[in-house]
A and B are shown apart, each in its own frame.
Chain A
């Protein structure tokens, strides 16, 4: 846990591990090199839903232990139904609100606050890493850029993410999105 700069080694044929490693690298670029502030509201929302669901389950367990079954019936009904409702809300939240967004970063430019959202996905049994970066400014305008390249572009033969390449790619996207703004 925690920030560490030691090189990370992963099995690049493990799609999920490779995706996570590159996601982490991109987060580091956005919040480190590009000096944006990470906003945790999105992930905190998910954590809150998860914690609430687990809390409901624990409460049902405790109540059923203190007041064995026929007595605890009503509490169990309430807990079980709210648990499954929470699970559906969580599913909706991750599919429609999070949509694979792994970092949200805020950046102040003059009076403008720009919000950067990066999301990524990898198809099963595919080596293509798809990244979408969306930039929103405080006027409500949004622009997005994306790329789609093989893992092999970012991960060397030892399985370490090549941070310089990631930094270059992201900086390029960042600059193009920022400058487009000025043209308009």
Chain B
């Protein structure tokens, strides 16, 4: 069985094998370049995020897919939903802007809160941090697709499953010709 799986590969000549590897590389690069292209277009370092918690219910639920933009010329306003990073946390947070102070020179500092949380986010910020500034912002929510992100959540909760799926895909692409 395993032998026949690699039959295709064994029969390839040098150029066919290189092409096989390159076409696998191109599948990965296409996805990568689409992502980077979205980054450039939206101005956000992560243009699509998945909502991981229920802290923004009923606006967003766990598993919703959010589309973000982060144009520097657009001001942050109270009531907007922002995605921000906090030092020492890997995963960005999606919450609403509660209070905002803006100076004449354009610098802003603001406080956020999850719609479904009873307190504001100061407890979530880094030690001693009271406000967020523009540099903490990953993007602002512009649209969403409900539940599509559940797949991502399952993948992250069962990393073995994720690696298995990825490995299968990689082997399939590398082993099958064209």
A51 partner, pick from B8, B22, B30, B177, beta carbons under 8 A: B22
A54 within 8 Å of B (CB atoms) = yes
- Minimum CB–CB distance from B143 to chain A (whole Å) comes to 21
**In the assembly, what is the distance between CA of A87 and CA of B30, in Å?**
9
Instruction: Specify which chain A residues have a CB less than 8 angstroms from the CB of B45 in the assembled complex.
Output: 68-70
Instruction: Specify which chain A residues have a CB less than 8 angstroms from the CB of B122 in the assembled complex.
Output: none
B40 within 8 Å of A (CB atoms) = yes
- Minimum CB–CB distance from A30 to chain B (whole Å) comes to 14
Contact B177 A2 (CB under 8 A): no
Contact A80 B15 (CB under 8 A): no
B75 within 8 Å of A (CB atoms) = no
B29 within 8 Å of A (CB atoms) = yes
Residues in B35-61 with C-beta less than 8 Å from chain A:
36-37, 39-40, 45
B18 within 8 Å of A (CB atoms) = yes
**In the assembly, what is the distance between CA of A68 and CA of B32, in Å?**
15
Instruction: Specify which chain B residues have a CB less than 8 angstroms from the CB of A17 in the assembled complex.
Output: 8, 177
Contact A83 B7 (CB under 8 A): no
B32 partner, pick from A1, A8, A61, beta carbons under 8 A: A61
**In the assembly, what is the distance between CA of A40 and CA of B14, in Å?**
11
Instruction: Specify which chain A residues have a CB less than 8 angstroms from the CB of B4 in the assembled complex.
Output: 9
Check A1/B23 contact, CB under 8 A, given A47-B15, A80-B36: no
A60 partner, pick from B7, B26, B36, beta carbons under 8 A: B36
Check A79/B36 contact, CB under 8 A, given A53-B26, A68-B45: yes
**In the assembly, what is the distance between CA of A2 and CA of B10, in Å?**
7
What size tier do the contact residues of chain A reach? 35 or more
**In the assembly, what is the distance between CA of A95 and CA of B176, in Å?**
21
**In the assembly, what is the distance between CA of A130 and CA of B40, in Å?**
45
Contact B12 A1 (CB under 8 A): yes
- Minimum CB–CB distance from B169 to chain A (whole Å) comes to 17
Instruction: Specify which chain A residues have a CB less than 8 angstroms from the CB of B12 in the assembled complex.
Output: 1
Contact A76 B8 (CB under 8 A): no
Contact A1 B30 (CB under 8 A): no
In the complex, per-residue mask of B1-19: 1 if CB is within 8 Å of any chain A CB, else 0? 0001001111111110111
Instruction: Specify which chain A residues have a CB less than 8 angstroms from the CB of B74 in the assembled complex.
Output: none
**In the assembly, what is the distance between CA of A79 and CA of B29, in Å?**
11
Residues in A1-35 with C-beta less than 8 Å from chain B:
1-4, 8-10, 16-17, 20-21, 24
Closest chain A residue, CB of each to CB of B11: A8
Instruction: Specify which chain B residues have a CB less than 8 angstroms from the CB of A51 in the assembled complex.
Output: 22
B90 within 8 Å of A (CB atoms) = no
Closest chain B residue, CB of each to CB of A40: B15
Interface residues in chain A, defined as those with a beta carbon under 8 Å from any beta carbon in chain B: 1-4, 8-10, 16-17, 20-21, 24, 40, 43-44, 46-47, 50-51, 53-54, 56-58, 60-61, 64, 68-70, 73, 76-77, 79-80, 83-84, 87
10 closest pairs, A vs B, by CB?
A57-B29, A50-B22, A69-B45, A54-B25, A80-B37, A83-B33, A76-B36, A76-B40, A20-B177, A80-B33
Interface residues in chain B, defined as those with a beta carbon under 8 Å from any beta carbon in chain A: 4, 7-15, 17-19, 22-23, 25-26, 28-30, 32-33, 36-37, 39-40, 45, 176-178
Q: List 16 A-B contacts (CB under 8 A).
A: A1-B13, A1-B14, A3-B13, A17-B177, A20-B177, A20-B178, A50-B22, A50-B26, A54-B22, A54-B25, A54-B26, A56-B29, A57-B28, A64-B36, A77-B40, A84-B37
